[in-house]
Chain A
Amino acid sequence: AQSVTQLDSQVPVFEEAPVELRCNYSSSVSVYLFWYVQYPNQGLQLLLKYLSGSTLVESINGFEAEFNKSQTSFHLRKPSVHISDTAEYFCAVSEWGSNYKLTFGKGTLLTVNP
């Protein structure tokens, strides 16, 4: 069975600082990987995804994540965060061939302080 571990439940940073949100997964088969973001009092939005090909994927608002198969990781990074990036971030995994199940991590609350 697949599982996802987000190593940090809370990450406080100052504005314009770099940030890394860590995600490790476990699966016996090939996977798709996702990062979702949940802004305060809102639903979940897809931030970025890894399906195949280049192991580095980027979002439109400056986040990037790198798939590392040997370390079974999919860490999310941003070189310079803004106050508006304050949100909860969820890493999720789906096994190839499974169109019905996403397994989520417990989430990381990113708080960007001025």
Chain B
Amino acid sequence: EAQVTQNPRYLITVTGKKLTVTCSQNMNHEYMSWYRQDPGLGLRQIYYSMNVEVTDKGDVPEGYKVSRKEKRNFPLILESPSPNQTSLYFCASNGGLVNEQFFGPGTRLTVL
């Protein structure tokens, strides 16, 4: 089954404790993105990747890092999480000329 998976689905952590949210897709897509969803703000792009070792900032990159060492994986790293990063995070991928993105199930992160 074609899908985007994320782990963990739920995470509660404390300020300053480094964490990684994993994302993996099995569709051989070149493009992958991370978004955060906040009430009343919709989804905003954090980072994106156009291929292995090619990443760039989206609209709200501050406080986040990403890496793309393999085509299928695109982890999101919060090196020193803060409460304002409490949010619902989505990973997405797309592989065609048309930017139809496939979304993962989401990761709900709470930073205390």
Q: Which residue of A lies closest to B106 (CB)?
A: A43
Contact between chains at B43 and A104 (CB < 8 Å): yes
The answer to whether residues A99 and B105 also contact, given A43-B90, A44-B90 and a CB cut-off of 8 A, is: no
Question: Which chain B residues border A101 with CB–CB below 8 Å?
Answer: 33, 45, 48, 58, 99
Please, how many residues of chain B have a CB less than 8 angstroms from a CB on the other chain? 29
A-B contact count (CB 8 A): 63
- A29-67 vs B, Cβ < 8 Å mask (1 yes, 0 no): 000101010000011111001010000000000000000
Question: Which chain B residues border A32 with CB–CB below 8 Å?
Answer: 98-100
Binding site for B on A (CB under 8 A): 6, 9, 32, 34, 36, 42-46, 49, 51, 90, 94, 98-107
A and B contact pairs by CB, cutoff 8 A, 16 listed: A9-B40, A32-B100, A42-B105, A42-B106, A43-B90, A43-B104, A44-B90, A45-B103, A46-B102, A99-B50, A99-B99, A100-B31, A100-B49, A101-B33, A102-B43, A104-B43
